[in-house]
Chains A and B, each alone.
Chain A
């Protein structure tokens, strides 16, 4: 059981480049989330999904797109990267339904935009 796996772990982009972060979970969880973590600002929700084929905006969605074509995968895309998107990105999943609400996090992906 790998839990929540994120790829890549590290990436350096130039301004204007695009990229996709992949999150995969093998716990059959319904809900998935993408957060970004910046110093002193905690974790802020970018987008989330409450089931296959559904997505919704979080607190800081601008500049990002997401897709949940398969239940186990949640993709985060940056179409035109900006230096303000330099951050550590965490994917998380949650069982949903009558569960406790606990989020299970991936190891994080450190993105630097030059």
Chain B
């Protein structure tokens, strides 16, 4: 089955700096790559996603890039703010396999004021 690895496990940045989280996946048939943000004690919520026919996608301060050949994708957060502090999860899935997501282990991001 699919295996998703995520690095780093923790990330501390100064407010206003950028944060980058990287993920690799194992199954070349995966075609959907979402990123979820989970605040303390809350449910995971989708912040951005990308499909395998797209190399990059941006939404305001967040962007995701995908390299299908290398089987890795990354989340970039620019101009970080204290409210960006949370745990971020990458995931991968195949639509043909019931949309079931395989998640990475998570990255705890702390934005210091």
Question: A interface vs B, CB < 8 Å?
Answer: 31, 33, 35, 40-45, 48, 50, 56, 58-59, 90, 94, 96, 99-103, 105-108
Nearest-Cβ distance from residue A52 to partner chain B, whole angstroms: 14
Question: CA of A42 to CA of B101 in the docked complex: distance in angstroms?
Answer: 11
Question: B interface vs A, CB < 8 Å?
Answer: 1, 4, 6, 9, 32, 34, 42-46, 49, 89, 93, 95, 98-106
Nearest-Cβ distance from residue B98 to partner chain A, whole angstroms: 5
Question: CA of A42 to CA of B98 in the docked complex: distance in angstroms?
Answer: 20
Top 9 nearest A-B pairs (CB, nearest first) are A42-B103, A105-B43, A101-B32, A43-B103, A42-B105, A101-B99, A50-B98, A94-B99, A42-B106
Nearest-Cβ distance from residue A89 to partner chain B, whole angstroms: 11
Q: In the complex, which of the residues A44, A96, A99, A107 contacts B103, with contact meaning CB atoms closer than 8 Å? A: A44
Extra A-B contacts (18), CB below 8 Å, given A45-B100, A103-B34: A35-B103, A42-B103, A42-B104, A43-B103, A45-B101, A59-B102, A94-B99, A96-B98, A99-B99, A100-B32, A101-B34, A101-B95, A101-B99, A101-B101, A102-B49, A103-B99, A105-B45, A106-B43
Number of A-B contacts (CB under 8 A): 59
A48, B43: Cβ atoms closer than 8 Å: no
Chain B residues positioned under 8 Å from A33 (CB to CB): 100
